[in-house]
Amino acid sequence: MKKILTTVLLGLGGAVVASAITLPSILELRHSITDDNIIAPESFETQTRLLEENFYLKNYVVPGVDLGNSYTATPQEYQERLAKLPTVIDLPYNSIVKNYIEMYLDRKRGLVADMLALHNYYGRFFEEELLKEGMPLELEYLPVIESAINPNAVSRAGAVGLWQFMPATAKGLGMEINSLVDERRDPRMSSRLAARYLKQLHDIYNDWSLAIAAYNCGPGNVNKALRRAGAEGEVKKDFWDIYDFLPAETRGYVPAFIAANYVMNYYSHHGISPTIVKRHLTTDTVQINRHVHFNQIAAVLNIPVDEIRMLNPQFLKDMIPGDYRPYSLTLPTQQCLSYIMSEKRILEYDKDLYARRTTAEPRGSTSTPPAIVSDGGKSNLANAEKQTSNALVNNEIASQATERIVTKTHVVERGENIRDIAKQYGVSATDIKRWNKLRRGKVKAGDRLTIEVVEHITPDEVRVQAAQEVAQVFPHNDQESNTPAETASSSKSVSAPKAAEKKAQPAAKKNTQQTKAARTTTHVVKKGETLDRISRKYGTTVAAIQAANGMKKTDTRLQINQKLKIPAKGGNQKKSTSRKRRR
């Protein structure tokens, strides 16, 4: 019996040893693993058309050309090329990595071309900050899978910027986030702190694959996966050992990072031509310690506002709150000295338009109406109304700027696109998408778009508008019947008001002519425009335009470069109202 048991035990032991020998090693596991349930990073959803709006892509480079053939390689070629890359971080090959590589080379070829172009500018920030921290340079391709190298990228979870920092992580690293500034969008600042954060993660795990995984899902999830994988004792674990215990998105994160390194190095082997730099962009920074708006800088230094935005995406509202604390403003190198020499002119340019109010008084609070006496006090009441009326008008004129933003609705016509519509209204395509919350850049005929345009107004128009508001507050009129006593007391001074009225008539007539002139705008007809389209653009009617230009109702044909007088919206109504008052 003992012999039988010994034989069985020896057989079982040999089977266990044999099975242990046939188990795959860690190296084999990382090369043979398959998984159909991974979730691709959000950067794979980036629309190429959105990236093409980037000022750098439009003005400084010619993106790589797609030759129309994916030129996929064999698994052996993928593996050999990855092994040849001079990297510190292991870049093993398996079927998941293959799927990501071919996704880039097939459906996302246009995205790869744009990222290669963007890397010409942003890549130097990545490399410089990684080198300062003594980090592997292959980490410069993490923004490829994080944001598609777009500093304005925002994830569904609220991560922002090239390196996709969440608010809590960013603030913990010392980044500023408020209504005007979000340093997660700052290319250099975010790259510097991303390098430091990755270094901290590597110091914790002493393994780059785990550090990269923790960058994606957080150290807490990686620690939990290590515990579940039984990472005890001195046996070293890496990403592939805890693969099955990680969140679905993180399981695809390291393979996507390996694929990004392959594609950004071997794109030319797959029919994507290198990016051509039309003109080099070299930048420098200048310290700003005053409140200044991008429009002021652009106007004085003759720089496109879109370029300032591209170089400084961390300023959310086109303004630098330098009176709060000093900030670095990035400009083309040759413009930094120009800013220093012209700072006074920049700060003075339209300063009233961009100034922030520090005090505010309720309307009409500067004058207190006198008390009404016991005899009814009609004269005192009239004086009080007149004083308050003047105060309202003066306050209104003082508070109004020479420009105002008007919201218009544009109905998309067949053949129109966002860029054409943006040129028509003098705004940017990016603004139109932001106003209308469009994730894509496509519109179709019949779509209604909200457009915000700036209109110039004259002080006369401001004064008329303020007077109308005052008339609503005090609807009394000079032609009301007076008491016999008031009539008798006022009859002695009738001649004086008449004389003053005669003197005031020429001035009033002149103001009326100026107001009428201000109520018309000249429009030069462009190709494809119609009276209906022009009337909707200016918020008026076809009949009003025809009347202003002496046209018959049947005259609807226009010629290119024809000049039309455009009456202001509601101009006819104001005229009829003024006639009624004169009666």
- List, by residue number, the catalytic residues: 146
Residues 6+ apart with CB under 8 A from 7: none
> Rounded distance, CA 406 to CA 524, Å?
21
> Rounded distance, CA 400 to CA 462, Å?
7
Residue 48's nearest CA partner among 582, 441, 369 is 441
- Structure-block tokens of residue 54: 């980037």
> Rounded distance, CA 473 to CA 477, Å?
12
Other CB atoms within 10 A of residue 190 CB: 30
Tokens 């172009």 -> residue: 117
Is-contact 477 386, C-beta < 8 A? no
Beta strands in 467-546 (DSSP E): 520-524
> Rounded distance, CA 214 to CA 216, Å?
5
Residues 6+ apart with CB under 8 A from 303: 297, 331, 332, 335
Q: Are strands 61-62 and 291-293 parallel, antiparallel or unpaired?
A: unpaired
Phi, psi of 521 (to 5 degrees): -125, 145
- In DSSP terms, 286 is beta-bridged to 329
How many CA atoms within 13 Å lie on the side-chain side of 159? Answer: 18
> Rounded distance, CA 18 to CA 26, Å?
18
Other CB atoms within 10 A of residue 213 CB: 28
> Rounded distance, CA 178 to CA 470, Å?
39
Residue 314, by phi and psi: left (phi above 0), alpha (psi -120 to 50) or beta?
A: alpha
> Rounded distance, CA 245 to CA 241, Å?
9
Is-contact 564 545, C-beta < 8 A? yes
Is-contact 515 567, C-beta < 8 A? no
Per the document, the length of the chain is 583
Is-contact 245 224, C-beta < 8 A? yes
Is-contact 143 149, C-beta < 8 A? yes
Is-contact 69 130, C-beta < 8 A? no
Tokens 């693969």 -> residue: 243
Amino acid identity, position 512: T
